[in-house]
Amino acid sequence: MALILTQNDGNIKVISSKDSAVTCDIETYKEYLTNLDESLLELNGEPTRFVLKKGLNYKEQQIIKDAQIKMDGKEYQIRMSYMMDEMRLALIDIENPADLSEDQKIIFKRASDGKVSHEIVALLESAGILSELSLARTNAMGVLSGITKKK
């Protein structure tokens, strides 16, 4: 046996449990987050899909690692806001349902640095969506790239 590393290239699309089109129970949604199999979801209409980079490059991963812990004097502090930085690096598009009016769509905007705007990230965090996106991306790097749990 050997450890086989695979590239985490490509993108994933994630549907939020908060989407009005999602009608399944929370346990089914949690299962969906482990493998992103949309057939598990009970959908009533077309959902919004968040498009994320599956993997980040070296520099992007370094930014996230540096954002996770802060040294305050002689004490280390874990910074939970790193998830917001992660999403600014990973979120690359938002696919709205075609039947939504323009004023209902979540318009994907980039900041001057080329990453998704702070306003979009703040809206998603306020709605409780960022943690779902982060978990789906973390799972995708393992499950979808061929890494499986040992029995």
Q: Give the pair of three-digit tokens for residue 101.
A: 């009016």
Distance separating alpha carbons of residues 19 and 99, to the nearest angstrom: 15
- 12-71: pLDDT as tens digits: 999 999 999 999 999 999 999 999 999 999 999 999 999 999 888 888 888 777 777 877
Q: Are 89 and 116 in contact (CB under 8 A)?
A: no
- 140-151: pLDDT as tens digits: 887 554 544 444
